[in-house]
Chain A
Amino acid sequence: MSSYLDLTTLRNVVVVALIAGLGITLLFSVAVRALVTADEHPDVAAGQRLIAVGCLLVVLAGVAVGLWAVLAK
């Protein structure tokens, strides 16, 4: 099997894909939860929207770095 596949590369792909996929999902889900909370409870809306914007900015930065890494190769 190992002669047919670079197992180190495979392990790296699995680990990075897991971190990227789960990381983006986690941050986006936190942002969604914060936005829904902001909609439902206007008294805490500003803080919740700030959390959402922070999470989305981190997601955007992560995606931008990922795309840059792939395209610059």
Chain B
Amino acid sequence: MHDATLLFIVVITALTFDFTNGFHDTANAMATSIATGALKPKAAVALSAVLNLAGAFLSVKVAATIASGIVASTAITLPIVFAGLLGAIVWNLLTWSLGLPSSSSHALIGGVIGATMVSAGTSAVHGHSIVAKVVVPAVLSPIIAGLVALLATKLAYRVAQPDERPKSHRYFRYGQLASASLVSLAHGTNDAQKTMGVITLALIADHRLGAKADPPAWVIIACAVAIAAGTYLGGWRVIRTMGHRLTHIEPPQGFTAQTAAAAVLLTATQGGLPLSTTHITSGAVLGSGAGRAGSKIRWRVAGSMVVAWVLTLPAAALVAAGIGLVVDGGGSVQVIIVAAIACLALLGVWRWSHRNPVTAENVNDYSDPDLALRELARPVQQKVG
């Protein structure tokens, strides 16, 4: 096996995951700003990309976060890292094509778990850590964010009275810019760090770095650029779901949702509680929907989202396990063949998604089915009246 070739493929795969993480999770920060018209779609993703880029440089203390404690570090090999990353990329693209916000971090963790189980057995997987670091926070984070957003929305509507004073929407849109920027910055700091950690882990596994080494400068720059590029491309499908399909969002709700998300995200980071940005922002959007009188949450869409959350870890693990079976113990040839097949498959998903394209131009063209029904019913009611 030629380790340099294998390492190169792993690094490219990790940067591809970082790129998918960027465009899959742009919605976390910018969906409500785009939905309420606080920012034009292209300007929103550009701002988010710049802040993700900046966030990636703010800290380098999260190297190996994904793997440490989740699986035995001795079980990590380059083919396992490759399989784990590919499993996460496949799940990210599938959920993106369906417009479902799901956690890229959980996909990555699932991928690493699945590939490790195939390679080193179940004993190499730390079940207690997975429950403590992934499962429990996954359940709690949307609830905490939803609660904060619900109370904040009630407070904002009571104090600023935007229903009686529509002029206030303009000022809440300005507020949205600041709160969404904060979420983007936090996302860049958290998520780009995870890919940096994975690449650093690969370099350590290949004996190019000492154990406990910090990510080299080129890794930090490459990850920052990859996540920013992905963010700029914009995951318009997920943005539409977060901004329109879950609930109708007004500027005060957009502000409170993003403020709640930023508050929970940054507080949890400070407290060392690993929470998913996607779960936090989705919970906050639902909370802001529940907090406004007369607002309606589409529970069917929310239910599909929760199903995607539950499936993320096992599904990514299953895909990674399948890939791990092929590449584990093999040479770089197997890895190259699998990478080529994966490229073709992912290209297929990309092309399939273009049958019904969602772009910056039509991301806000979402017709509310309930609203459409009410519009249809209106002439009948008027005639009866």
Measuring CB to CB, which residues of chain A are less than 8 angstroms from any residue of chain B? 1, 3-6, 9-10, 12-14, 16-18, 20-22, 24-26, 28-33, 35-36, 39-40, 63, 66-67, 69-71, 73
Q: Which of B157-165, B330-338, B377-385 lies on the face that meets chain A?
A: B157-165
Are A22's CB and B155's CB within 8 A?
yes
CB A30 to nearest CB in B, in angstroms, measures 6
Residues of chain B lying within 8 A (CB to CB) of residue A33 = 159-161, 165, 168
**Could you name 13 residue pairs across A and B whose Cβ atoms are closer than 8 Å?**
A3-B132, A13-B273, A17-B148, A20-B266, A22-B151, A28-B175, A28-B255, A30-B159, A32-B171, A35-B171, A63-B178, A70-B269, A73-B270
Given A4-B132, A36-B167, A71-B59: A29 and B144 interface contact (C-beta under 8 Å): no
Q: Which residues on the B side are within 8 Å of A63 (C-beta)?
A: 178, 182
Question: Among A16, A29, A66, which residue has its beta carbon within 8 angstroms of that of B156?
Answer: A29
- Mark B residues whose CB is within 8 Å of A: 58-59, 61, 128, 131-132, 135-137, 140, 144-145, 147-149, 151-152, 155-156, 159-162, 165, 167-168, 171-172, 175, 178, 182, 185, 189, 252, 255-256, 259-260, 263-264, 266-273
- Report Cα–Cα, A20/B271, bound state, in Å: 14
Q: A32-B168, A70-B269 are in contact. Are A4 and B58 (CB under 8 A)?
A: no
Contact yes or no, A25 B152, CB < 8 A: yes
A70 touches B266 (CB 8 A): yes
Apart from the given pairs A22-B151, A36-B171, A63-B178, 10 other A-B contacts in the complex at a CB distance below 8 Å: A4-B132, A13-B267, A17-B144, A22-B148, A25-B152, A28-B255, A28-B259, A32-B162, A67-B182, A70-B270
Can you name the residue of chain A whose Cβ is closest to the Cβ of B284?
Answer: A21
The secondary-structure label for the interface of chain B is: helix
Taking the closest CB of chain A, its distance from the CB of B35, in whole angstroms, is 19
User: Which of these, B61, B137, B263, B270, contacts A69 with CB under 8 Å?
Assistant: B270
DSSP class of A's interface residues: helix, strand, loop or mixed?
helix
Pairwise interchain contact A20-B160, C-beta atoms closer than 8 A:
no
A24–B263 touching, CB < 8 Å: yes
Q: Which of A9, A25, A30, A67 contacts B273 (CB 8 A)?
A: A9
Q: Which residues of B contact A29 (CB under 8 A)?
A: 155-156, 159-160, 252
- Which residues of chain A are near B270, meaning CB under 8 Å? 16, 69-70, 73
Q: Tell me if B272 and A25 are in contact (CB < 8 A).
A: no
Nearest A residue to B59, CB-CB: A71
A39's nearest neighbour on chain B, judged by CB, is B167
* A-chain residues with CB within 8 Å of residue B144 when the two chains form the complex: 13-14, 17
A73 to chain B, nearest CB (A): 6
Q: Which single member of A4, A12, A26, A28 contacts B131 (CB below 8 Å)? A: A4
Residue numbers in A under 8 Å from B162 (CB-CB): 32
Contact A32 B172 (CB under 8 A): yes
CA distance A21 to B153 in the complex (A): 10
Assess the B168–A36 pair: CB atoms within 8 A: yes
Given the known inter-chain contacts A9-B272, A29-B156, A36-B171, please indicate yes or no for A17 contacting B267, CB distance below 8 A.
yes
A39 to B185, CA, bound (A): 33
- A27 CB, min distance to chain B CBs, angstroms: 10
Q: Is the beta-carbon distance between B271 and A9 smaller than 8 angstroms?
A: yes
| From B145, B175, B266, contact of A67 by CB (8 A) | B266
Which 8 A-B residue pairs are closest in the complex by CB-CB distance?
A: A21-B263, A29-B159, A25-B152, A20-B263, A21-B148, A29-B160, A32-B171, A4-B132
Q: How far is the CA of A21 from the CA of B182 in the complex (A)?
A: 13
Complex CA gap A28/B147 in Å reads 19
A24 → B minimal CB distance (Å): 5
Given B136, B167, B267, B272, which contacts A20 in the complex, CB threshold below 8 Å?
B267
